[in-house]
Amino acid sequence: MFRLLIYSLLMSAAMPSMAVFSEAHTVPTYRAIYDIRYKDRLVGESEITVIKNQVNGTYIFSSKSNATGLLKLIAPKTLVEISEFSYNHNHIQPQQYSFENGRNRGSYSVSFNWDENIVITTENNQITQSTLVPGTLDHGSMQVAIMLKMQQSEPLSQTIRDDDGIREYDYSLVGEEIIETSLGPITAKKLIQQRRNSSRQTVLWLAKDFQYLPVRIEQEKNNASKVILEIQSLEWLLTNQ
């Protein structure tokens, strides 16, 4: 989600009731709205949802980001990221992932075939196939996996598949902070996500009382802040787990 508006730049707020939280170690279903800021300016809004498909039991992570103000002239299209994944025995398996930026260039999809251990990537009508590494996630299911892993222990590493192939991310927990938000002050764990062999890292503030939902996300490169997402509203969605 946090990378959607970076792509274009560089190339009802109420406290939720604890009663509607999901059971621990199950996939939390919710709708959250984030402001997107770049160099201390409001440049857009992102809506993040996780819902359960009651027909086949899979989950769908969706991120939709829109630019505001003058930036909308540069990036008028909605940027959409969707991940469908299954969750069984405390294990996430992505099924299908897509990233759409409103233009042909840069949009792509990834299909995961766990029965045959192959992954198929489609970009600009070009199809590539490769071996599927066990434990691989996509950018959407990774965000859900972080929330679930934080309920048990600190995530150490993740393997991600995207249009450029395999990416490895490492994690380090660096403390706890109180974050001032539109929902009020929230105590959050500060987690650093570092992509291997890259100067880019993402800092996430994860709220324990909200099942480790990110309440603030800041992407940095060469120790300089690039874009910040700040939570504005949150709604927990009831579902039959």
More confident of the two residues 72 and 183: 183
Q: d(Cα 85, Cα 138) in Å, to the nearest integer?
A: 9
Sign, CA dihedral 161-164-166-167, equals negative
Contact 45, 65 (CB under 8 A): yes
Say what the pLDDT of residue 8 is.
Answer: 39
Q: What is the DSSP string of 26-64?
A: S---EEEEEEEEETTEEEEEEEEEEEE-TTT--EEEEEE
What does the mean pLDDT of the chain come to? 86
Question: Nearest to residue 24, comparing CAs of 210, 235, 215?
Answer: 210
Q: What percent of the chain has pLDDT over 70?
A: 83
Say what the pLDDT of residue 169 is.
Answer: 95
pLDDT tens digit sequence for 23-76: 456 899 999 999 999 888 999 999 999 999 999 999 999 999 998 865 554 566
Say what the pLDDT of residue 122 is.
Answer: 95
Looking at residue 155, the DSSP 8-state letter turns out to be -
- Give mean pLDDT, residues 75-87: 89
Say what the pLDDT of residue 222 is.
Answer: 74
- Residue 187 scores a pLDDT above 80: yes
Residue labelled with tokens 């997402």: 229
Which of 40-44, 46-50, 100-104, 217-221 tops mean pLDDT?
A: 46-50
- Give mean pLDDT, residues 102-121: 89
- Residue 239 scores a pLDDT above 60: yes
Say what the pLDDT of residue 198 is.
Answer: 87
Say what the pLDDT of residue 240 is.
Answer: 54
Domains of the chain, earliest start first: 4-14+23-236 (2.50.20)
pLDDT tens digit sequence for 202-211: 999 999 999 9
Number of Cβ within 10 Å of residue 52's Cβ equals 19
Q: What is the DSSP string of 54-82?
A: TTT--EEEEEEEEE-TTHHHH--SPEEEE
- The predicted model scores a pTM of 0.86
